[in-house]
């Protein structure tokens, strides 16, 4: 069992070497050790090699069920609250609660990800979410109760996501398979923006909001069953009693992660561009209104960035080698927000859509950044680090949307988006310089 005591803040980490799947003997195919890639089909490459790993197929299927449940519940709960109150504010707040509790759950409960076996944590998280949603279905549940239960589900989400992400290093090893596995889960989440709400809308034509929420209970239970039966039971990364109380262990993990200069820079390179890039999505409706476009344009603007992201990540994951992906990280991150500057010219629907597709393509740097992050975080902190990463990413997007909306109360919408692109580019360039400096020190420490 690894020691939970972290090395001093700022200490460079020794990056584990990725083991090629072809180098492993057959007995490791279903039980890879830490840092070792499982054996896959020797002829399989890229995403095919990831799907060749049985446990990942179970995780992927569970992700589909869980994502379907979250998407349907968000839409159905928003409609239900509006039906009960007639208040647009409370209806919007219901959707905003998808973001706000992430910071609380990801900071205070992050220790769960390393303190208990991953499979147990994942199954319990799914069961807790299923229980919360089941109470939402009850006719006597008040609006305040619905909102509180929505907060509870959102607070559990970063623990679930962080634990699952850390568990991928056990299932797929710490090399390229793990990076591609994370990429696949991210692609599914992006695709949900294109089809998930449409499917939820169709479901609401056949069922009441509470009936649609009932479907969510089933999806969470299916996810729990897949994870329980389809993945191996591995020990926790730290002893259950190590580090004292759960809250203290969670906060100590956050301090250790944020206190390391290399890890902190990588986290910010995830968070800061995400904070700025959400501005055009948050303001899609008012921008379409400002240029005299209809509702179809709003849908187009909302989907454009996801299309660019999915296309770019599929190409980078399938066509490029790990070294090429790594070389893309800093230049693509530095340039990723520049397309938003086109909004300064108040473009029409076609040019605005093209700008957003290009901004989505800028997210191609994330797949290489994932590998750097896995290499930089020590094994005993990995669950907490991944949970903190998820919590910070969702919180930064929520804050970015809120501040973009606030700014649009005083500044024309197209200028808000253009300023987001300009200020975000400057901030990202500063982060790129910092990450480059820490990377040089990190490599020097490894050679030493």
Dist. CA 113–CA 386, nearest whole Å: 9
Model pTM score: 0.72
Dist. CA 53–CA 154, nearest whole Å: 30
Beta bridge partners of 19: 36
With contact defined as beta carbons under 8 Å apart, do 288 and 294 qualify? yes
Dist. CA 169–CA 247, nearest whole Å: 25
Tens of pLDDT, residue by residue over 208-258, are 888 888 888 999 999 999 999 999 998 887 765 555 576 777 777 778 888
Q: Write down the pLDDT at residue 196.
A: 60
- The pLDDT of 411-424, averaged and rounded, is 95
End-to-end CA distance of the chain: 27
Tens of pLDDT, residue by residue over 329-360, are 999 999 999 999 999 999 999 999 999 999 99
Q: Write down the pLDDT at residue 395.
A: 83
- 333 or 203, higher pLDDT: 333
Tens of pLDDT, residue by residue over 24-66, are 333 333 334 444 445 445 445 678 888 999 999 999 999 888 8
Question: Among 40-54, 169-183, 426-440, where is mean pLDDT lowest?
Answer: 40-54
Question: Among 38-47, 143-152, 298-307, where is mean pLDDT lowest?
Answer: 38-47
Q: Write down the pLDDT at residue 211.
A: 84
- 207 or 218, higher pLDDT: 218
Q: Write down the pLDDT at residue 19.
A: 33
Phi-psi region of 377 (alpha: psi -120 to 50; beta: other; left: phi over 0): beta
Residue in 118, 154, 123, 151 with CA at minimum distance from that of residue 220: 123
Tens of pLDDT, residue by residue over 66-86, are 887 777 777 778 778 878 887
- The pLDDT of 276-305, averaged and rounded, is 84
Question: Among 232-246, 253-267, 283-297, where is mean pLDDT lowest?
Answer: 232-246
Task: Report the C-alpha dihedral over residues 252, 329, 393, 166, rounded to 10 degrees.
Answer: -50
- Residue 351 CB neighbour total at 10 angstroms: 13
Q: Write down the pLDDT at residue 187.
A: 85
With contact defined as beta carbons under 8 Å apart, do 145 and 135 qualify? yes
């Amino acid at each position: 069992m690894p020691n939970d005591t972290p090395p001093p803040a700022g200490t460079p980490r020794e990056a584990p070497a990725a083991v090629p799947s072809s180098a492993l003997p057959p007995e490791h195919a279903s039980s890879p050790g830490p840092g070792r890639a499982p054996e896959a089909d020797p002829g399989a490459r890229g995403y095919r090699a990831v799907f060749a790993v049985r446990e990942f197929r179970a995780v992927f299927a569970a992700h589909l069920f869980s994502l379907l449940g979250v998407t349907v519940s968000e839409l159905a709960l928003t409609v239900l609250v509006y039906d009960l109150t007639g208040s647009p504010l409370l209806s919007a707040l219901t959707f905003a609660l998808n973001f706000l509790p992430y910071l609380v759950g990801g900071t205070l409960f992050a220790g769960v990800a390393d303190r208990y076996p991953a499979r147990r944590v994942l199954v319990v998280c799914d069961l807790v979410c299923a229980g919360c949603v089941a109470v939402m279905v009850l006719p006597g549940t008040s609006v305040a109760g619905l909102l509180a239960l929505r907060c509870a589900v959102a607070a559990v989400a970063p623990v679930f996501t962080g634990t699952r992400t850390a568990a991928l290093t056990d299932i797929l090893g710490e090399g390229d398979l793990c990076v591609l596995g994370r990429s696949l889960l991210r692609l599914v989440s992006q695709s949900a923006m294109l089809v998930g709400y449409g499917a939820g809308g169709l479901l609401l034509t056949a069922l009441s909001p509470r009936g649609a929420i009932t479907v969510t209970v089933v999806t969470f239970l299916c996810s729990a069953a897949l994870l329980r039966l389809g993945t191996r039971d591995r020990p926790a990364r730290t002893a259950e009693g190590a580090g004292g109380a759960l809250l203290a262990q969670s906060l100590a993990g956050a301090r250790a992660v944020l206190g390391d200069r290399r890890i902190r820079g990588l986290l910010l390179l995830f968070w800061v561009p995400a904070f700025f890039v959400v501005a055009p999505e948050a303001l899609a409706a008012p921008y379409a209104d400002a240029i005299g476009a209809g509702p179809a344009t709003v849908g187009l603007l909302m989907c454009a960035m996801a299309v660019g992201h999915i296309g770019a990540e599929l190409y980078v994951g399938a066509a490029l080698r790990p070294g090429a992906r790594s070389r893309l990280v800093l230049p693509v991150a530095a340039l990723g927000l520049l397309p938003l500057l086109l909004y300064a010219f108040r473009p029409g629907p076609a040019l605005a859509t093209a700008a957003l597709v290009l901004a989505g393509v800028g997210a191609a740097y994330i797949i290489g950044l994932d590998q750097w992050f896995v290499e930089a975080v020590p094994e005993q902190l990995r669950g907490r680090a991944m949970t903190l990463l998820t919590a910070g990413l969702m919180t930064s997007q929520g804050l970015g949307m809120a501040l973009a909306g606030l700014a649009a109360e005083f500044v024309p919408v197209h200028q808000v988006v253009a300023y987001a692109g300009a200020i975000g580019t400057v901030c990202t360039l500063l982060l790129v310089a910092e990450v480059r400096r820490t990377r040089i020190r990190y490599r020097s420490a490894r050679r030493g």
